[in-house]
Amino acid sequence: VVIGGGNTAIDVAREALRLGARPVTLIYRRTESEMPAYRHEVEEARDEGVRFGWLTLPVRFLGDSRLQAVECQRMRLGEPDPSGRPRPEPIPGSEFAIPARTAIKAIGQKKRTEFLS
């Protein structure tokens, strides 16, 4: 399972397939149209066999001594957030699990400039 919606998440999912992982599912909390990754890369990933879970929020990792599944919750799009994009909202009671041996978080990054002078 790959968590994220940007180009890094797409790259990770495609490389996981090339390295032999099966199946590879990429989950994103918004819809495909809100996904920041390049359209052509999303299409190429789909053509290569990456599965997509839209409107899906990872809640927690399940397993005893190793990962067995990623518990997720379905989302719906609500009112716009400050950026103007519809804000994803959890749907109560919609939890489900995706069996997984590996999960990779490929989510946002921000510049840390507080230590620069």
Domain boundaries, the chain: 2-105
pLDDT of residue 85: 87
Q: What average pLDDT values come out for the chain (117 residues) when binned by 10 residues?
A: 97 98 97 96 98 98 97 98 92 98 89 72
Strand partners, 105: 3
pLDDT of residue 115: 74
In sequence order, the 6+-apart residues with CB closer than 8 A to the CB of 93 are: none
pTM of the model: 0.89
pLDDT of residue 109: 72
Cα gap 28→33, rounded to integer Å:
11
pLDDT of residue 91: 98
Instruction: List the 56-62 sheet strands across, edge first.
Output: 56-62, 69-80, 86-99
**CATH number at 2-105:** 3.50.50.60
Helices 39-48, 7-18: axis angle to 10 degrees equals 20
Cα gap 116→100, rounded to integer Å:
40
Instruction: Give 49's Cβ-side CA count (13 Å radius).
Output: 10
